[in-house]
Structure 1
Amino acid sequence: MRLSRFFLPVLKETPSDAEIISHQLMLRAGMIRQQSAGIYTWLPLGWKVLQKIEQIVREEQNRAGAVEMLMPTLQSADLWRESGRYDDYGQEMLRITDRKKRDMLYGPTNEEMITDIFRSYCRSYKDVPKLLYHIQWKFRDEIRPRFGVMRGREFLMKDTYSFDTDEAAARKSYNRMFIAYLNTFTRLGLKAVPMRADTGPIGGDLSHEFIVLAETGESEVFCHADLVEMGAPGASVDFDGDLQPLVDQRTALYAATEEMHDPAAFAAVPKHRQLSARGIEVGHIFNFGTKYSEPMKANLTHPDGQDRPVHMGSYGVGVSRLFGAIIEAHHDEKGCIWPDSVAPFDLGIINMRAGDGACDSACDGAYASLVAAGLDPLYDDTDNRAGAKFATADLIGLPYQLVVGPRGLKEGKVEVKIRRSGETHELSLEDAVARLAAKDFANG
């Protein structure tokens, strides 16, 4: 994409109402625009990143055996009355009455709807296990929306729901999602700590939050350093095998937030392995048994002929919240530093002197070659000053910059800059293009 044809409304000044770095940079880099409190338009650059985050989340859900569907944003209040949550949920729920005076709501979550769908088609123990998920926009009428997409009113969520015959089978589904989440966050360039958590209004007796470490995180995290360093199981995990040892390995070590801190437990961790850091919640998983299936009569007929409620779990990832979390974990004083996996463009091409025949020819050729190699470059072909071009490239955080100027071309050289480390390489244009196409530069 040529920058002259792209829509990138960058701001020179930081908006005064943006309190945290991700909100500041998303506004400055022209990724989002606030339409009303807690509600944003996703502008082209931000939308490209959001789609990449969403796709990684989707791929890891599919690999874990979940099946994608799509549920509507509007739900009938009758389902929520059936489960008993309609009056309990509180003012965060946006309640709506349609023209026929039917009570509706803009879904903050989908436990009731997915239970209704399941009970309509599945009635035998032979119909499970099932893992169903969707990626859909949600709305919660936050009393005080703040921090940009980190605590907005409208947000993009991935919700998975599991259905099993009993508690033991339900735990296996829970473990599949636990491992899938670790793999997801690793692919997004994030270090995530799983932490036992309160089940809150979702219900149940087993729950984990996934906390991403970032200096500007909203909570303080206390944990054993091994819990961060051991990372994700990776692509080799057998989801049909026994995942409990992997889950136990990653939860046996102490982890807590400031709100759930046990000083004695933390003191038991060897001092050289104690880790105190800031963190951001990006995912939450629940095993809630028959909380919804029992009142909504979602039953399965078992081999003994008896009908019993299906055991359920839910597994949420804040896709749009992940966007902000990645920036919080990957930025510097100049702007964003996107991991390769979610960068809006693979690299930037900076023409230092647009209109100069040699520069234009070199940049056009490099652009065509990189596109032909399957890359997605952003070519700054504008007539802005060099300083402004560099500032924009750093602000939007593309992993690599190919800099082409008249002085370097006379010497047969161009420059490749690695955004994360600031490291630069002087190469011939042909070598630079070949190495970029081959992804032959270590990103810091």
Structure 2
Amino acid sequence: MRASRFFVSTLKEAPSDAEIISHKLMMRAGMIKRLGSGIYTYMPMGLRVIRKVEAIVREEMNRAGAVELLMPVVQPAELWQETGRWDKMGPELMRVKDRHGRDYAIQPTSEEVVTDVARSEIRSYRQLPVNFYHIQTKFRDERRPRFGLMRGREFTMKDAYSFDRDVEGMQKSYRIMYDAYTRIFNRFGLQFRAVAADNGAIGGSGSHEFHVIADTGEDALVYCPTSDYAANIEAAEALAPAGERAAAAEPLTKTATPNKTRCEDVAEFLNLPLARTVKSIVLTVDAAEEGGEKTLWLLLLRGDHELNEVKVAKIPGLAEFRFAGASEIVEWFGSEPGYLGPIGTRKPVNIVADRAVANMSDFICGANEEGFHYTGANWGRDIPQPIVHDIRNVVEGDPSPDGKGVLAIQRGIEVGHVFQLGTRYSKDMNATFLDVDGKPALMQMGCYGIGITRILGAAIEQNFDERGIIWPASIAPFQVVLCPMGYDRSETVRNETERLYAALQSAGIDVILDDRGERPGAMFADWELIGVPHRVVIGDRGLKEGMLEYQGRRDAAATGVPVEQMADFIRDKLAA
């Protein structure tokens, strides 16, 4: 490719609405152009990266035995109604009507459509297992689109769906996809981590997320440096403290704490450790039927811990919880928030204590009276034994659930997710086959997604410097850029540039020749911003000595390479 025949459009400054580094750099490098909120045109430079990401994904999916098809973006509402997701998905599901008033969804994912394909095409166990995949446009009507391609509304995703005759087969298909994803992210050249995760709204039994490691990542990844344990913070188990709860040693005392509504303030006021305090979080579960009574729940956490809402939703009776309103809190507790606790509530509440709180003695909690807290509170003596669950986020230094060390936390960007769905969709849609015994059985499903366009943003968040993007060679828009000095003025420079250009092309190397006639500083700045990983400079001065200049995108200085050796030198760099 010659730059004069391509479309290179760089900016010195990022638009004011670009928030994170990947958004800023993609806009400046001319890779995307904003069309509307969360909707972007993929410009030629960015599209080249997308196509390379897609090619790697396709190769590894095909290698793993998956079969490509293409499902529509617009899907009939009836399929989504069969699984109940037409109502459950909420406003993120974009809904449209055709000219006849029939409802359709602009797909955010394709479980329903692929299950419809399977139930109509698969009759016998002899046709299983099968794994269908496609790479297709998706749309999710995000409430607050932001961060460019990291959280847009329209995006490209690879989603795959496996169908098996039994659980053992599903688990085998899941392992095949897990291994394929590991190969994919290794080929991308990205530092990543696979972590156990919660299935969320998609349903099913088990899942893993694949995260690109980046300090700017939205997700907290929990892992044990001395073992293989890794999980999303939503799924990481916080073990109960070791040892028995200490016996009560202090009397229960109502203590004045004027204007101290936060655990941190109370601990400082009483000159006690924050870990001696207990914070109260009130939840409401509305009546299932009209005319029924709602219930309130009091969740108790140690003052230095944070609530894990995913864990809370799995507690029996709390699947449909919401945070209680101020008027509800006053009605049930007789106090404004900030002074709440489990002792002396105005109306009965269900009390759930985190494992750490259940192991505490002589702790501090709200007295349900403005300006007062209890000190010396103890289970059994002052408060009935609570329901105990793991309801908190783990913190660094917690014991690893596998018993092989302590936990550490790093940030990551989710770019892939694999799920064991089981019969979540096949049951709702009656996707059956005739098994070995001649009887109908439900297909066991798995599903597997990779955010194709999200990969671009994640890769940049992990690979950039003050000059711009640093693409891994496997997904860079071009692997090598040739920067001739005076291409239009020096026949010697032009001839050597054309010779090297032809040699690299014949070797199958994706090379671009910058023949635009730009000044060296502007030329170098463009390609450093765009992030091409390898640069060769051809100039009269070097040619007189039989040398060319090579510089890798991460290199601090250029390296001289003999003219006749440069093509092999580049091949070796790319092979490494």
TM-score (norm 1): 0.89
Higher helix fraction (1 or 2): 1
2:506 counterpart (359, 372, 381): 372
Distance 1:345 1:116 in 2: 41
Q: Aligned residue for 1:138?
A: 138
Is the 8 Å Cα contact of residues 162 and 313 (structure 1) preserved in structure 2? yes
3-state DSSP of counterpart to 2:86: coil
Local SS of the residue matching 1:157: strand
Distance 2:106 2:59 in 1: 27
- In 1: Cα distance, 2:169 partner to 2:574 partner: 43
Is 1:424 the counterpart of 2:400? The answer is no
CA contact (8 A) 1:221 1:277 kept: yes
Aligned residue for 1:190?
190
Residue 522 of structure 2, aligned match among 360, 377, 388: 388
AA aligned to 1:337 is I
Distance 1:258 1:315, change over 3 A: closer
State the SS of the aligned residue for 1:378: strand
In structure 1, distance between residues paired with 2:38 and 2:102:
27
2-side partners of 1:327 and 1:101: how far apart?
44
Check the 8 A contact 1:114/1:161 in 2, yes or no.
yes
Structure 2 equivalent of residue 362 of structure 1: 496
CA distance in 2, matches of 1:409, 1:155: 47
1:42-81 → structure 2 map (5 Å cutoff):
42-81=42-81
How far is the alpha carbon of 1:119 from its aligned partner?
0.6
* Structure 1: gaps spanning 5 or more residues: 228-251
In structure 1, C-alpha distance between the alignment counterparts of 2:222 and 2:404, rounded to whole Å: 10
Greater mean deviation of Cα atoms: 414-423 or 112-121? 414-423
Q: Does 1:288 align with 2:421?
A: yes
Shift of the alpha carbon at 1:421?
Answer: 2.9
In structure 2, list runs of 5 or more residues that go unmatched. 237-392
Report deviation, 1:426: 0.8
- The change in CA–CA distance for 1:99 and 1:254 in structure 2 (over 3 A counts) is closer
2:432 maps to which of 295, 299, 302: 299
Task: Give the length in aligned residue pairs.
Answer: 416
User: Closer, same or farther in 2 for the Cα pair 1:259/1:160, shift >3 Å?
Assistant: closer
Q: Which of 209, 220, 231 matches 1:255?
A: 231
Displacement, 1:387?
0.7
Amino acid at match of 1:196: A
Cα distance, 1:441 vs structure 2: 2.6
Q: 1:419 touches 1:443 (CA, 8 Å); kept in 2?
A: no
Preserved contact between residue 190 and residue 472 of structure 2 (Cα < 8 Å)? no
> AA paired with 2:495?
S
Check the 8 A contact 2:196/2:230 in 1, yes or no: no
Whether 1:181 and 2:181 are equivalent positions in the alignment is yes
Farther-moved stretch of structure 1 (350-359 vs 58-67): 350-359
Counterpart of 1:383, as a letter, is G
| Cα distance per residue 1:248-303 (max 9 Å; x no partner) | xxxx52434378542433496546xx643210001111112111111211111222
Partner in structure 1 of residue 207 of structure 2: 207
Contact 1:207 1:287 (8 Å CA) reproduced = yes
Matching residue of 1:92: 92
CA distance in 1, matches of 2:226, 2:55: 29
Measure, in 2, the Cα distance between the counterparts of 1:208 and 1:346: 32
Contact residue 222 and residue 258 of structure 1 kept, 8 A: no
The one-letter amino acid of 2:421's match is: F
Same amino acid, percent of matched pairs: 48
Aligned to 1:320: 453
Whole-Å Cα distance in 1 between the matches of residues 224 and 485 of structure 2?
A: 48
Distance 1:258 1:123, change over 3 A: closer
In structure 2, what residue type is equivalent to 1:365? Answer: R
| Range moving further from structure 2, 291-300 or 254-263 | 254-263
| Contact 2:229-2:400 within 8 A present in 1 as well | no
* Equivalent pair of 1:418/1:443 in contact (CA under 8 Å): no
Q: Secondary structure at the match of 2:87?
A: coil
Report if aligned partners of 2:157, 2:453 keep a CA contact under 8 Å in 1: yes
Alignment partners' CA distance in 1, 2:84 and 2:416: 25
Match for 2:480 among 342, 347, 356? 347
Tell me, in whole angstroms, the C-alpha distance in 1 between the residues paired with 2:82 and 2:574.
55
> 1:124-177, CA deviations, whole angstroms, 9 ceiling, x for partnerless residues?
222211111111010001000111111110111111101111212111111111
Q: Corresponding residue for 1:156?
A: 156
Structure 1 pair 253/414, CA: closer, same or farther in 2 (3 Å)? same
User: How far off is 1:218 after superposition?
Assistant: 1.4
Provide Cα deviations, 1:219-253, integer angstroms capped at 9, x if missing partner. Answer: 232312367xxxxxxxxxxxxxxxxxxxxxxxx52
CA distance in 1, matches of 2:399, 2:467: 40
Decide which moves more: 372-381 or 144-153: 372-381
Which residue type is aligned with residue 398 of structure 1? V
Whether the 8 Å contact between 2:226 and 2:404 is mirrored in structure 1 is no
Pairing 1:412–2:546 present? yes
Residues in 2 aligned to 1:276 and 1:416: alpha-carbon distance in whole angstroms:
39
Provide the rounded CA distance (Å) in 1 between the counterparts of 2:218 and 2:553: 27
Name the CA distance, whole Å, in 1 between partners of 2:478 and 2:64.
28
Per the alignment, do residues 172 and 81 of structure 1 end up closer, same or farther by CA in structure 2, a change over 3 Å counting?
Answer: same
2:194·2:230 contact (CA, 8 Å) conserved in 1? no
Report if the CA contact (8 A) 1:219-1:258 is conserved. Answer: no
Show the counterpart of 1:124: 124
Residues 1:84 and 1:332: Cα distance change in structure 2 (over 3 Å): same
**2:536 counterpart residue number:** 402
Q: Report if aligned partners of 1:348, 1:402 keep a CA contact under 8 Å in 2.
A: yes
Provide the rounded CA distance (Å) in 2 between the counterparts of 1:160 and 1:418. Answer: 36
Residue 130 of structure 1 aligns with an amino acid whose one-letter code is V
Deviation string for 1:305-327 (max 9, x for gaps)?
32121111111111111111111
Q: 1:312 to 1:332 in 2, by over 3 A?
A: same
TM-score by length of 2: 0.69
Kindly state the Cα deviation for residue 199 of structure 1 after the two structures are TM-superposed. 1.1
CA distance in structure 2 between the aligned counterparts of 1:289 and 1:270, rounded to whole angstroms: 33
Larger radius of gyration: 2
SS in structure 2 opposite 1:288? strand
2:498 is matched by which residue type in structure 1?
A: D
- Residue 333 of structure 1 is matched in structure 2 by 466
Residue by residue over 1:73-120, the C-alpha shift from the partner in whole angstroms, topping out at 9 and shown as x without a partner, is: 110001111121111111011111111211111111100000111111
Give, in whole Å, the separation in 2 of the partners of 1:4 and 1:226. Answer: 53
CA contact (8 A) 1:224 1:255 kept: no
